[in-house]
């Protein structure tokens, strides 16, 4: 079956979720690179303001993810997912009116709380609207569409910011307003499209016994989260930190060269999930995830070699490394998302996906800290060695991950999700 056929075979609710997530990703991309520039060069705040705003967002994201993950176990998907999107939309809209540092920090808190909830609840919603054997397709399509739409958003946002109309504050305000509208559009779509998954009395009593502690006591879930953290630390967590830091520190690649590397990243992250996952369908998932660790290690080998060269040779080596890093990202995200959601019951799904999202966010915080500490060691050699060791660890841990349950095996534990999805496709779109 072709990739397009697989996506078309997804339940209607999952396809609407994919559409709405793409729309939201365009909005996110429009403001993604600009927060520091906006608050310092446009609003003329001191540098402590964006630094504190980013830290506030990260802290609020942890609390928000845990909160929305718990709420999802007690409220319907078609209420919690829209609520998280409205929450994030209000936060990013507030940035447009950040005339003083206090408003900027309040916006950071609201946005961080909400956007983490969006990540956790949307990942859970894909699992709730698909069968076990469809989830890799759903998560792969989402990863590809999200990267493509974010790329479109980044380009569009850059063009709007560079246009000669109004004031810079107005132009950036428009960007944040469009971002907010994209979240509100997703809220409207998911309000009508997602399952109601109303919790009955017996299920509610069962849910009360499922907390974060009970999930973290599960060895299989801990292994998945550990593998995700290791893989993210050497890929996603370094893409805006250690990787450009090393290349610039060694005078291998200039700023315009980094833009080429970003383009390579987007292209590979779009192509691999959409067009190559079908080729890997018969390869054991543990082996694919181990290969992703080796790809990450290969990335840092190429980055080290790029640091030993200059000009076009350095750029070619750096782009080769970024391509391998992107392959690793494209395997890890969808495969581990499907795996962890196939391991847990529907009652555990909200909290489990919150832990999944927080683990990824944690890598984005720890990654730059590792880079900052190790880049000065041996002209960056200490950093490269640490990345190679962590990549090897990610590959080894992948070999010990639990096997993804087959759809038949999952049927008993997945319970009401499939029937809820079928009923939703027939009638829930018409409910408010």
pLDDT tens for residues 318-359?
999 999 999 999 899 889 998 999 988 888 888 999 999 899
CA distance 3 to 322: 25
- What's the pLDDT band for 385 if we cut at 50, 70, 90? very high
Residue 314: how many CA atoms within 13 Å on its side-chain side? 21
CATH class of 1-198+408-432: mainly alpha
Q: Is 169 exposed, middle or buried (0-12, 13-18, 19+ CB in 10 A)?
A: middle
Predicted confidence (pLDDT) at residue 136 exceeds the cutoff of 50: yes
Helix axes 416-427, 101-128, angle to 10 degrees: 100
Report which of residues 185 and 194 the model is more confident about: 185
Helices of type H across 72-134? 77-95, 101-128
Predicted confidence (pLDDT) at residue 402 exceeds the cutoff of 90: no
CA distance 415 to 392: 37
Please state the domain extents for the chain.
1-198+408-432, 210-401
Say how many C-beta atoms besides its own lie within 10 A of residue 319's C-beta: 20
pLDDT tens for residues 119-135?
999 999 998 898 888 88
Q: What is the pLDDT of residue 132?
A: 86
| Residues shown for the chain | 432
Please name the helix (run of DSSP H) or strand (run of DSSP E) that holds residue 424, with its range, or none: helix 416-427
Report which of residues 195 and 27 the model is more confident about: 27
Instruction: Compute the average pLDDT of residues 148-153.
Output: 90
Which of 29-38, 169-178, 219-228 is the least confident region?
Answer: 29-38
Q: What is the pLDDT of residue 15?
A: 92
- What's the pLDDT band for 195 if we cut at 50, 70, 90? confident
Q: What is the pTM of this model?
A: 0.82
Predicted confidence (pLDDT) at residue 205 exceeds the cutoff of 50: no
Structural contact between residues 357 and 229, judged by C-beta atoms closer than 8 angstroms: no
DSSP state of 404: P
Please give the CATH architecture assigned to the domain spanning 210-401.
Up-down Bundle (1.20)
Q: What is the pLDDT of residue 201?
A: 41
Say how many C-beta atoms besides its own lie within 10 A of residue 150's C-beta: 21
Predicted confidence (pLDDT) at residue 211 exceeds the cutoff of 90: no
Average pLDDT, the chain: 85
Q: What is the pLDDT of residue 208?
A: 54
- What's the pLDDT band for 426 if we cut at 50, 70, 90? very low
Q: Supply 318's token pair.
A: 């750096």
Q: What is the pLDDT of residue 197?
A: 61
Q: How far apart are the first and last CA of the chain?
A: 35
Supply the Cα-derived Rg of the chain in whole angstroms: 21
Q: Supply 171's token pair.
A: 């132009």
Q: Is 63 exposed, middle or buried (0-12, 13-18, 19+ CB in 10 A)?
A: middle
- What's the pLDDT band for 404 if we cut at 50, 70, 90? low
Say how many C-beta atoms besides its own lie within 10 A of residue 218's C-beta: 16
In angstroms, the Cα distances linking 222 to 216, 292, 349, 414 are: 6, 19, 14, 20
- What's the pLDDT band for 155 if we cut at 50, 70, 90? confident
pLDDT tens for residues 33-67?
788 888 988 999 988 888 888 888 888 998 999 99
Q: What is the pLDDT of residue 419?
A: 42
In angstroms, the Cα distances linking 302 to 47, 109, 265, 315, 373 are: 34, 38, 15, 10, 21
CA distance 116 to 354: 8
In angstroms, the Cα distances linking 395 to 152, 285, 401, 423 are: 32, 12, 10, 41
In angstroms, the Cα distances linking 109 to 57, 94, 173, 243, 381 are: 5, 11, 18, 28, 37
Instruction: Compute CA 151 distance to the chain's CA centroid, rounded to the nearest angstrom.
Output: 14
Structural contact between residues 111 and 241, judged by C-beta atoms closer than 8 angstroms: no
Predicted confidence (pLDDT) at residue 425 exceeds the cutoff of 80: no
Predicted confidence (pLDDT) at residue 75 exceeds the cutoff of 80: yes
Comparing 1-198+408-432 with 210-401, is the CATH topology the same?
A: yes
Structural contact between residues 35 and 88, judged by C-beta atoms closer than 8 angstroms: no
Predicted confidence (pLDDT) at residue 367 exceeds the cutoff of 90: no
């Amino acid at each position: 079956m072709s990739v397009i056929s697989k996506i078309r075979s997804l339940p209607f609710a999952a396809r609407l979720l994919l559409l709405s997530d793409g729309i939201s990703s365009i909005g996110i991309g429009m403001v993604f690179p600009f927060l520091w520039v906006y608050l310092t060069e446009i609003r003329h705040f001191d540098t402590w303001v964006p630094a504190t705003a980013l830290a506030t967002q990260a802290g609020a994201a942890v609390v928000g993810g845990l909160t929305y993950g718990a709420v999802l176990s007690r409220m319907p998907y078609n209420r919690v997912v829209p609520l998280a999107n409205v929450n994030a939309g209000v936060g990013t809209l507030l940035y447009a009116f950040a005339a003083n540092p206090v408003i900027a920090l309040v916006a950071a808190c609201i946005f961080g709380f909400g956007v983490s909830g969006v990540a956790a609840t949307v990942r859970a919603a894909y699992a709730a609207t698909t069968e076990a054997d469809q989830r890799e397709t759903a998560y792969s399509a989402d990863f590809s569409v999200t990267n493509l739409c974010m790329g479109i958003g980044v380009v569009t946002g850059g063009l709007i910011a560079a246009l000669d109309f109004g004031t810079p504050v107005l132009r950036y305000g428009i960007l944040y307003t469009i971002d907010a509208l994209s979240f509100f559009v997703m809220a409207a779509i998911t309000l009508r499209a997602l399952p109601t998954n109303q919790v009955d009395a017996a299920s509610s009593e069962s849910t009360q016994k499922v907390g974060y502690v009970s999930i973290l006591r599960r060895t299989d879930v801990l292994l998945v989260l550990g593998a995700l953290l290791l893989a993210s630390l050497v890929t996603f967590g370094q893409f805006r930190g250690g990787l450009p830091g090393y290349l610039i520190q060694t005078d291998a690649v200039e700023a315009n060269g980094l833009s080429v590397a970003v383009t390579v990243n987007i292209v590979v992250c779009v192509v691999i999930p959409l067009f190559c996952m079908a080729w890997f369908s018969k390869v054991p998932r543990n082996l694919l995830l181990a290969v992703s660790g080796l790809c990450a290690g290969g990335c840092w080998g190429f980055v080290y070699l790029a640091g030993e060269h200059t000009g076009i040779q350095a750029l070619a080596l750096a782009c080769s490394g970024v391509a391998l890093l992107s392959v690793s990202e494209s395997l890890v995200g969808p495969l581990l998302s499907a795996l962890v959601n196939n391991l847990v019951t529907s009652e555990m799904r909200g909290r489990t996906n919150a832990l999944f999202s927080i683990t990824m966010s944690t890598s984005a915080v720890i990654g730059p800290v590792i880079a900052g500490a190790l880049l000065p060691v041996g002209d960056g050699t200490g950093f490269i060695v640490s990345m190679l060791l962590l990549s090897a660890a990610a590959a080894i841990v992948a070999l010990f991950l639990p096997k993804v349950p087959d759809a038949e095996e999952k049927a008993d534990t997945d319970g009401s999700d499939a029937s809820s999805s079928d009923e939703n496709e027939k009638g829930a779109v018409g409910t408010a």
